[in-house]
Amino acid sequence: LSQPVSQMPQTSFSYRVDFSPNKHNLAYVTVDFGTQQPAECEVMMPAWTPGHYLMREYAKYLQDLRFTDDQPSGTDTSTETSTETNTVTKVAKNRWMTKRPPGTPLKLTYTIFAHQNSVTSSWIDSEYALIVGAAMFLTIDDQRQIPCVVKLELPESWKYACAAMPTAINTDNTNGSNVATFVAKDFTELVDSPILCGNPEISSFNVGGVEHHLINLDPGPFWDTQAAAKDVARLVQSQQEMWGIVPYHNYHFINIIKESGGGLEHDHSTVMCTSKWKYRDRSQYIGWLGLVSHEFFHTWNVRRLRPRGIAEYDYHSENYTKCLWIAEGLTSYYDDLHMIRSGVIDESEFFKQISKTVSAVQLTPGRHHQSLAESSLDTWIKYARPDENSVNSTISYYTKGATVGFLLDAKIRSATQGANSLDDVMRLLYQRHVGNGGYDLDDFYAAVKEFSNDDVVDWLITAVETTEELNFDQAMAYYGLERKPFDDSKKEDMLKAVWGLVLENKGDRVMVKTVLEDSPAYQAGVNTGDELLALGEHRLLAADATTKLSQHRSQESDTLLVSRSEKLVSLPITLGEHDDLSWDLVPIKKPSSEQTSAVKSWLSPEKQGG
C-alpha cells in the first residue's frame, strides 16, 4: 500500500519498535539520533497530537528511558542524576536531558504502554497495533526537519503494516524476522502518519487518478468492506470535485472496528474507530459515513488550509486560534452536504442530519454565554474537558460552526441570486492561505465579502463574535423549509427539551447528570448529582424513570422527590410550553419554483467554478 523508496536518506533519526512479547500492551523502542548531537542534548515527546485539541501528556505512557546497552564500555546507563557519562535526567513533564561523551551515538531505549482504544493514542495487543506518532516517538525539538526511518518488528502472524507516508519500504523478511520499514521526510510527517499493523481487510479504489484504501480491522461477518468502499469512493469524488485539486499522493481510511468511536484526520490518511454493529443499522451507518466525510474533508480544510494559530505546531503547549469553528464547524456542515451530493444518503436523511445539528445548538443554553470565537479559543480547557455545567456555559464550535455554515451558505446564495456559494469562499481561502502562514478571522471575512456583500459579512461577524441568537427565517424561506411540531413521543427529547434533564443510571438509581439552565427542572431547584426517587406518589427506578417522566405534557405540575447529600428534598415542578422546541427542519409541501431551484443548486454536486 506504500510507495517504495529507492534509497535511505543519508542523515536520519532511526527508530526501531519491537512488539514482542505483546501480552501486556507494551512497545519496546530504540532510537538512534546519531553521533552529531552535542554531549548534552535534550530530547522530548509531544504533549498533544494535531487534530485533537487537548493536552494528552503522552510522556505518562513512557517508562525506562535510558541509553542502550551497546554504548562504549565503562559508561553509566542509569537514569539517575550522576557525574558519570551517559546519563538521562528528566527536566520537565515531556523533556529529558541526556549526557554522553562527545562523538558517541545518542542512542536511547524506552518502553511505551499502549492501551488506549482511541484515535489519539497507541494500542498494542496480540491481534493488532495502532501507532500514533505523538504517543510513541521521541525527538529533538530543534531538529524536527530531519528525516525519520522507522523499523517495526512484527509478529509473524501479522500480514500488513499500513501507513500513508509518501515513501515506505514494504514489509519484508530480514534475517528471518518480519520487519516493516517506513521513511518520513521529517518528524511532523511521522507524527502525522499513523501506522496500523495486523491483518485488516483492505479494499482499494482509484478516484481522481489517486489510489485510496479502505482498511477495515476486524470487520467480521457484519461489515461488507467492498460495499462500504464504494460509498467512500462516492464521498471522495464529491469532495475532490468541489475543491478542484487533489493534494495527496495516496490515502488510507483506517477503520478500526473495535467498539469505540471517533476520528482523527491526517494529511494522507484518517483513523476512525467504530462498532461492528453499525454497518447494518441504516441510521448508524449514516453516522459512520458522516465521520468518513468529515475526516476526509479535513484533507483540505485544516490539514493544508490552517488557521494561523496552528499553522506551525508547538508540541509542548496549547496552540490557540479563534477559527476552529471554520476548521471543524464548517467541516461538519460539509460532511452532511457531501453525503447528499454524493448520493450516499437521500434528501430526507440529509434534513434529519441538518436538524440534528441545529437542535444541538438551539437546545444548548451555553449558546447565550459563549461565542463561536471564544469556543474555538477555549477548546483546550472547555470543549475538550467538559463538566456537568458545560451545557449551560459553552457551545460546541462543531455544531454551531456547522449551523452558521448552513445559514452563511444560504445568505451568500440568496444575496447573489445563486451565483455564488460558501464553496467559492472555501476555494478562495485555500488558494490564498495554504502554505502561506495560515488565515485568521479577518481573512475569512474578506473572502466572504468577495462573494457576497457587507450585510452578509456584518451578520457573520455578529454570529461568530457575539452570543446574539441566530435567526433561521431567511434560510428557511430561501430553501422552502419549515419546522415540524414537537414530537413528544421521543422520550429522551422530552427529558432534555421539556424537563431540562439529562439522566444517568447507577444500578437501579436514577441520577441527575445535567440540569439545563432556565428549564423547568432548573427553576424547580433540581441540582446536578441529585438522585431522583419519586415523581408524585410514584417510585422512580432506572428501568422506568424515562418512561414515567415523559408522560407529562405542557403546563402539567407534579412533585419530584430527590435525595441530596443523603437528605430528602421535595421539589414542586411545572412544565413549560414546548411548542417552539422542535428544530426538525423539513421541506414545505408546495415550494415555489425559486425554492425548488435553490435546493437543487444547494444539494447537487458542485464542481470548482460551477
Query: SS in 3 state form for 282-321?
Result: HHHHHHHHHHHHHHHHCCCECCCECEHHHCCCCCCCCCCC
- SS3 category, 462: helix
Q: What is residue 552's predicted lDDT score, i.e. its pLDDT?
A: 83
Q: What is residue 79's predicted lDDT score, i.e. its pLDDT?
A: 45
Could you report the average pLDDT of every consecutive run of 10 residues in the chain (610 residues)? 63 91 88 96 98 97 94 48 75 98 96 95 95 98 95 91 71 61 94 96 97 97 97 98 96 97 97 97 98 98 98 97 98 98 98 96 96 98 94 98 98 98 98 95 98 98 98 98 83 82 95 95 97 96 92 88 96 81 92 98 75
Cell output for 551:
408522560
- Tell me the angle at which helices 282-297 and 225-243 cross, rounded to the nearest 10 degrees: 40
Q: What is residue 78's predicted lDDT score, i.e. its pLDDT?
A: 46
How far is residue 392 from each of residues 365, 387, 388, 481, 576, measured CA to CA in Å?
5, 10, 9, 29, 18
Q: Is residue 132 a contact partner of residue 49, using CB atoms and an 8 Å limit? A: yes
Q: Which of 353, 223, 218, 214 is nearest to 271 (CA)?
A: 214
Q: What is residue 608's predicted lDDT score, i.e. its pLDDT?
A: 64
- Listed in sequence order, the residues at least 6 apart from 477 whose beta carbon sits closer than 8 Å to its beta carbon are none
Say what the pTM is: 0.94
Q: Is residue 5 a contact partner of residue 168, using CB atoms and an 8 Å limit? A: yes
Q: What is residue 83's predicted lDDT score, i.e. its pLDDT?
A: 43
Q: Which of 139, 150, 119, 127 is nearest to 25 (CA)?
A: 127
- SS3 category, 83: coil
Q: Which of 202, 219, 221 is nearest to 258 (CA)?
A: 219
